Structure formats: structure tokens, C-alpha cells
Amino acid sequence: MTMVRGLLAKRWVLVLIVLGVWIVLATAFSGVSTLELSTATDTPFTAWLRDLAASIRGNRTTSPAFIYFFNPIRLGVQGFIEPIRALISLPADGDIIPVLGWLGVVALIGYVVYATSNLRTSILSMALVMGCGVLGVWADSMDTLAMTLGAVFLSLLIGFPLGVWAGLNDRVMAFLRPGLDLAQILPTLVYLAPLALVFLIGVAAATIATLIYSIPICIRITAHAVRSLKAGPVEAAQSMGSTPWQLLTKVQLPMARQTLILGVNQTTLAALSFVVIAALIGAPGLGKPVIDALTIRNVGDGLTAGLAVVFLAVMLDRATTAAVLHSQSYVPATGAARIRRRIGLIGGAVATLIAMVLSRQLLWAAVFPKQLNFGDQISAFLSTVVKWFTSTFEFLTSGLNAAFTALLLNPLEKLLAGSPWYLTIIAITLVALILGGRKVAVLSAILMVGIVSMGLWNDTMITLSQVLLATVVVMLVGIVLGVIAGRSARAERLLKPILDAGQTLPAFVYLVPVLALFGPTRFAAIVCGVFYAAPVVVRVVADGVKGVPSDMVEAAVASGSTTTQVITKVQLPASKKSLLLGANQGLIFVLAVIVIGGLVGAGGLGYLVLVGQSKPELTGKGLAAGIAIVFLGIMLDRIAHASAQRTDRKSL
């Protein structure tokens, strides 16, 4: 143990030496060879990308790749999504309502949720959907819901069989794994532009982007569900002569039910959060007002739309988990309950049908009533509250912002972006070498040189400085809250709804209030990153601390440790693996949000991606920035991953 500690200490000592030398040299050569480039300036690579994009745009109607591949996919996806929109959100030409008016939609949702879970969740769901109408965003909410449901259906259609197959077959898993891993580190923003390029801005591109995000999640959880089954029953079923198909349908899938439903749940929430972001490439629905709120700073409308997203998220989350996840039992309801439920189902079906018919016949049931629509008032009220809050606490928020920026953000940015590029590359490569080993160091160096040759070095370093700082903050928050939650069941219960909400909400939604509080600054992006990543890190750390064997803790207490000693000498070291995993996840989550932070003035790569989307002459720059983000993500992930693995090996 002492030897391990010695080695570890040596690693940190080495890193500190590298940092020290780097800081000295960076100060000496400050401002030299920073490769700073104005947004509008193209490099040969970005110019080439711009021309490539232009030629793709020009060839959409002639190139065989479009005629036989991209266009049919686009039309197919569109043909699938549009009927769902026509049903609940998009009136046909000359009509004022879609096929179903609001009452019909509410009743249908209530009935489906009742059928899949229980009455309480059903009532909650109906209330939440009506809440969207009260917020004055009924049509947008229905668009988001339609897009989400369509994407979920397609995700499950593709992801579920693949996931089961990958769960049963190691070779399939090995084949899919690199793609799944990449999907996990790929920040959502980066594939919007390329998809919009080939599938045009609109419903199809938005849906396909959503699928790219949600299918890997579906595959991963489904495969895990099949893989993590208890071996005993599966072996027993084999010993009784089941065919592989019988084994799957009679044993593995029924036993995996809980985790499979969790997969549906996670896929649904992922799809919802992505549909909101996909407004950037033309997804209809609630994402649009949120983006408008961010760019023209209409806080009230943005928050109202954000609130509707929250309503939908809670509704979809409860509807996909409620009844099943509450009980770990396989025992179904008894006779009396079953009869009650059957009556409920039949009665509900009749009531739903009546509501659906009414919603096509009567105006009050078709169009969400004005008397119930408090959208304008709520929006105005939220604006006032935020304004009051911002002005009242300005000394605090702007002070915090200024202090953080001056003391931490600026120095770090100066070190990374404000010194010669080759010095930074050497320093980061050395750190990668010490933490992750030779292979990772070589990979990092190659990726960084690639970024330099694309002409995006300076922007990448600006993004990196924000990512690193946000990760440090996330880890501090995560460890403190994680240890508290891991040690006390009560604290965990208190934190759970907050963590659930944090993991359920699309990152986009809390950009609005944070922007209002801190203005369009890099600090705002960092705060968003922290909010977004903290729940995951807290969860991972808490699980790690909880996973420390209780006799280990008891032994420490019995030998007279104080609480602090138990935490620092037993629980944290023993859950080191979770801490490193948390750091890795934290990095990736933070990166995804910092990039979106480009919308709120964080600058860097995210900003380039976003302007690239809105200004044709900057398309090349935007696409290249996307590539740079991917490079940065891979580099950070590999370094974190490798250092976690090395630590793991040493402690064995």
C-alpha cells in the first residue's frame, strides 16, 4: 500500500513539475505564436470544407448519393413523423386543429399512461399536458411531443433488436462498441450541421440527429439488460432443453423487463432533450422559443417554453417508469385488483373515445380555451421575477462572475491559449504521458496537431480552459454532495428529486435563467456545464461511497477514526474508481454544454459551430470546429479513461 501511494505521489509530483515549468515558460513567451484567428478568416482547410459543403448543397438533386440514399431516407423519416404531427400538432391545410383537438390528446395520453402504469400517474400526466396549454404553448408542446414520440418509436425499432443481439453475442457487441463509445463522447452540437447539410434543415434532419443520439443509449441499456441477468435461471432453462429463441422469449426478456423499461425511459428522455436542441436545424416545437430567448434575450417566453419542456419531461419520465420501477417484484396483482383494473381499462377506453370525438366536434374541446391560457401573464411574471432577482442580486452574481473570471478563467485561458501553441502541445502531451501512458500521449499529440492544422487552435484552447475549470468545479460539488448522499440515506432521499430533475431536463432549458443571471459570458457557460454534469457525478460518487463494504467502514470506526478520517482515509480511497469514472463522465458532460454555451457568449468552438450554421460563408469554419470538438472530446476522454485504468491496475 505504501508503495502504491509512493508511486501515485510520484505521478502527481511529475504533473506538478510539468505544470510549473509550463507556467514559467508560458509567462516568458506570453502572446507568442498563439495562432489567434478572427472568426471570418478561413484557413485552407476550412475554405476547402466550405466549398465542399457548397458543392454538396448544389448537387442535392443530381448526385446519385442523394437520389438513391439521402433523399429516400429523408422522405421516409418525414413520411413517418408527419402523420404523428398531423394527429396531435399540425393542422391540415385549411383546418384550424390537427386530427385531435386538445381534449382528445389529453384523454388519449391519460388513457395510454393508465394502461401502461397506474391511475395516479395518468392523472399527473394529463395535468402536465394541460399545463403546457396553460403556459400558452400548446401547439409547440404538441410538436415537441410528436417529434419525441416518433423518434422514440424509431429508436426502439432499431435499437431494441440490435441491443438484444449485442447482449447475446459478444462479437456483435465488440463490433458495435466503438460506435457506442464515440456516441457517448460526441457533443450533441457537432453533428447537427453535417446532418442538415445532407438532409436539409427540417423535420427529417432533426429526427435523424435525435436518432443518432438516442439509439446508442437504447442499444447500450438493452444489451446491458440482457447481459446482467442472473446466470442461474438462464442456465437452468438451458439445462431443460430450451432453444435459443425459447430462452430469449420465455426467460431472458421477461426477466430483464425492469431494465428494458429503464431503457425505454432513458431513450425517451434523451430523445426529448435532443428534439429541443434540434430546433437549431429546424425541429418544430419548444426548442425554437428557447433559442429565441437565448439570442434575442426574451427571458419570459424562453422560461415559459422551458417550463413546458420540464412538464413534458416529467410526464414522459413518470409514464415510462412509474408502475414498474416502484416494485422490484415479479408477482402480479391479485384477483380483485385485476378486475378493478379491467373495468378501468374498458371505462377509460370509452371515455377516451368520447373525448376524442368531442375534440373534433366542439370548439372548446378542439382549441385550448383562452380562459385557461395564461401564457402571456406567466411570461410577463417570469420576466419581472428574473429582472427583480437579477438587479437585486447583481452585486453577488456579477461579483462572482468577475472574481471567477479574473482569478481562474483568465489565467488558465492565458496559459492554454495565450502562449506558444507548441509549448501547450508539449505540456499537454507530457501530462497525457504521465497520466495515461505512451499510447494516449501519442494520440493526444496527433489530435492537437490536427487541430492546429485546421486553424482552430486558439478557439479550441478557449473551449478547453472552460471545460477544465467547469470539470474541477463539478468534481468538487460532486464529491461533497456525493459523499453526503453516499453516507446518509436521508440526504440521498432529499437529493434524489433534484438529481432526477437534473438528469431529466434538457441542458438547453437552464441556459435561459443562467443567461439572465450572469449575462452572455464564459462564466454563464461554465455554470450551465456544472449544473448539467453535477447530477451524474454526484450519482456516480454516491454509488461509489455506498459501495464501500460496510465492514471496512465499521473497522475504521471501531479503531477510533473520526468521521473526517473515515471519509478521507477509507471511503474516498476505496471508491477511487468511482471518482475517476465520475471525472471522466463529468468532462464529457461539461464539454457538451460548454459547446452549446457558444450561444450565450462563451466563444470558442461552440460559437464557431453556431455561426457556421447561420452564415453560409462561415460553413467551413463551423464544420471544422465540429471536428475540433470531436478531437478535443476524444483526447479528454482517452486521457481520463487511461489514467483511471492505470490507477485501477496499480491499486490491485
Partner 1 sequence: MSAMMEAAEQDLSANAAISVRSLWKVFGPKADSVAGSPLADLSRADLLEQTGCVAAVRDVSFDVAPGEVFVVMGLSGSGKSTLVRCLTRLIEPTAGSVLVGGEDILTASPARLRELRRTRFSMVFQHFGLLPHRRVIDNIAYSLEVNGVKRDLRHKRANEVIELVGLHGYANHYPEQLSGGMQQRVGLARALAVDPEVMLLDEPFSALDPLIRRDMQNEVMRLHRDLGKTMVFITHDLAEALKLGDRIAIMRDGAVVQMGTPAEVVGNPADEYVADFVRDVPKSHVLTLAAIARIPKEGEALDGPRLEASTLIRDASPVIAEASGAVTVVAKGEVVGVVTSDDVLRVISGESTAARHESS
Q: Select the residue interacting with partner 1 from 26, 146, 255, 303 (CB under 8 A).
A: 255
- Distance between CA 135 and CA 393 in Å, rounded? 27
233, 347, 369, 549: residue in contact with partner 1 (rule CB under 8 A): 233
Q: Which three cell numbers stand for residue 11?
A: 505521478
The answer to whether the beta carbons of residues 536 and 503 sit under 8 Å apart is yes
- Pick the piece of the chain touching partner 1 (CB under 8 A) from 202-210, 328-336, 394-402, 467-475: 328-336
State how far the Cα of 524 lies from the Cα of 331, in Å rounded to an integer.
49
Percent helix, strand and coil across the chain, each to the nearest 5: 85, 0, 15
Q: In the complex, what is the shortest distance from the CB of residue 330 to partner 1, in angstroms, rounded to a whole number?
A: 5
Per-residue contact flags (x/-) with partner 1 for residues 34 to 73, judged by CB under 8 A: ----------------------------------------
Q: Does 83 bind partner 1 (CB under 8 A)?
A: no
Lay out the site mask for partner 1 across 283-322 (x = CB under 8 A, - = otherwise): ----------------------------------------
Q: At its nearest, how many Å lie between partner 1 and the CB of residue 233?
A: 5
Residues 6+ apart with CB under 8 A from 213: 183, 188, 270, 271, 274
Told to check if 330 binds partner 1 by CB under 8 A, we report: yes
Q: Is 243 in the site for partner 1 (CB under 8 A)?
A: yes
Query: Least distance in Å: CB of 336 to partner 1?
Result: 15
As given in the structure block, the three cell numbers for residue 190 are: 457537432
> Counting contacts by CB under 8 A, is residue 335 touching partner 1?
no
Spatial distance between the Cα atoms of 334 and 337, rounded to a whole number of angstroms:
6
Minimum separation from the CB atom of position 458 to partner 1 (A): 51
Shortest Å distance, C-beta 260 to partner 1: 12
356-360 long-range CB contacts below 8 Å, 24 or more apart? 356/100, 356/103, 356/104, 356/107, 356/108, 357/104, 358/101, 358/103, 358/104, 359/97, 359/100, 359/101, 359/102, 359/103, 359/104, 359/105, 359/107, 360/97, 360/99, 360/100, 360/101, 360/104
Considering the rule CB under 8 A, would residue 235 count as an interface residue with partner 1? yes
Q: Does 228 bind partner 1 (CB under 8 A)?
A: no
**Neighbour tally for 367: CB within 10 Å:** 18
Query: Smallest distance, Å, CB 255 to partner 1?
Result: 6
In whole angstroms, what is the distance from residue 247 CA to residue 548 CA? 35
d(CA 468, CA 480): 18
Q: Quick one: which segment of 36-44, 244-252, 260-268, 450-458 binds partner 1 (CB under 8 A)?
A: 244-252
- Quick check: 290 and 279 in contact, CB under 8 A? yes
In this structure, the dihedral spanned by the alpha carbons of residues 394, 514, 525 and 49, taken in order and rounded to 10 degrees, is: -130
User: Binding segment for partner 1 among 231-239, 599-607, 614-622, 636-644 (CB under 8 A)?
Assistant: 231-239
Task: Between 251 and 313, name the residue whose CB sits nearer to partner 1.
Answer: 251
Residue 419 and residue 29 in contact, taking contact as beta carbons nearer than 8 Å: yes
246 binds partner 1 per the rule CB under 8 A: yes
Chosen residue from 58, 254, 347, 399 binding partner 1 by CB under 8 A: 254
3-class SS at 98?
A: coil
User: How many residues of this chain bind partner 1 (CB under 8 A)?
Assistant: 20
Binding of partner 1 by 336 (CB under 8 A)? no
Q: Is 329 a binder of partner 1 (CB under 8 A)?
A: yes
Contact range with partner 1 by CB under 8 A, out of 49-57, 233-241, 406-414, 473-481: 233-241
**Applying CB under 8 A, which residues contact partner 1?**
232-233, 235-243, 246, 250-251, 254-255, 257, 329-331
